[in-house]
Amino acid sequence: LADIGSTNGDTRSLGTPGYAASLDYVEQALIPLGYEITREPFDVETFTEFTDPVLEATSPDPVTHVPGEDFVTMQYSGAGDLVALVNGVETSSGSSGCTAAAFTGFQTGNIALIRRGGCTFRTKALNAQNAGAAAVLVFNNTGGLFTPTLGNDPGVNIPVLMTTAALGQELDAGTANGITVRVAVDAELVTVATENLFAETIDGDPSTVLVLGSHLDSVPAGPGINDNGSGTALMLELARRFSACTPAAKVQFSWWGAEEVGLVGSTHHVNARTSAELEAVIGYF
């Protein structure tokens, strides 16, 4: 899996050659083991940025911040390019922006500055959008920076960025002087075809099914050797060992696609099952 990542742009994420190669690798490893192997195709709308996002203070002191170091775009953010006044929303609270009441008196057209914590990013963003915010900046409540998601069907139509804790605190302090910033996100949802992969025992009672699963895709920013190359490797070894057994129950080994964008592959699979198929599942590991 590390080799697949290194030869495919250092990623095995949804819609990339690295993910396609990962599917092929797992399937080829399973073929000699005697399972019934199937692929389950499905489509997923994936968040795609076409240019780097922008976050820069325009007044009173112009400052350009660095994407990937000072801030990132939240997955499934809305798009837009605007300059507006920053408005802090309960920035000292551990549940900043988690209720509609938090935006009482919020000025329509301002940029909402919100602290991470207390509820989902989607909840914060939707509350801000409903209050008339032009964009949302969520600053981290701990050190470092990561790429959060609003979920793959968030209904958020305005730009949403995450900043470091340090930058968020700097912006929060600047609201006393009427700080304005430019926020720009150039992105949209793109439909991507992808697949789940299954290996099922030939033997075993089909009305009693034990399912084991791990996801196969990585995040875009890396080859996913911990998350979830480790799970993929364990699943392959379990399948190899188990191939010598004759189970009383039917056993299904599952490698899910599009997990990193909101559990899309596993959700698609469950939603496509009949009631009888779901009732046959006695456990999931």
Looking at the annotation, which residues are catalytic?
259
Q: How far apart are CA 112 and CA 160, in angstroms?
A: 9
Q: Where do we find the tokens 């899996």?
A: 1
User: Which residue in this structure is represented by tokens 């188990």?
Assistant: 242
Would you state the structure tokens that stand for residue 96, as one six-digit string?
């900043």
Distances (CA, A) of 177 to 113, 136, 137, 171, 172: 15, 19, 18, 10, 10
239: left (phi over 0), alpha (psi -120 to 50) or beta: alpha
- What sign does the CA torsion over 216, 220, 223, 224 have? negative
- Residue 270 tokens, joined: 């469950």
Task: Name the token pair of 135.
Answer: 């964009």
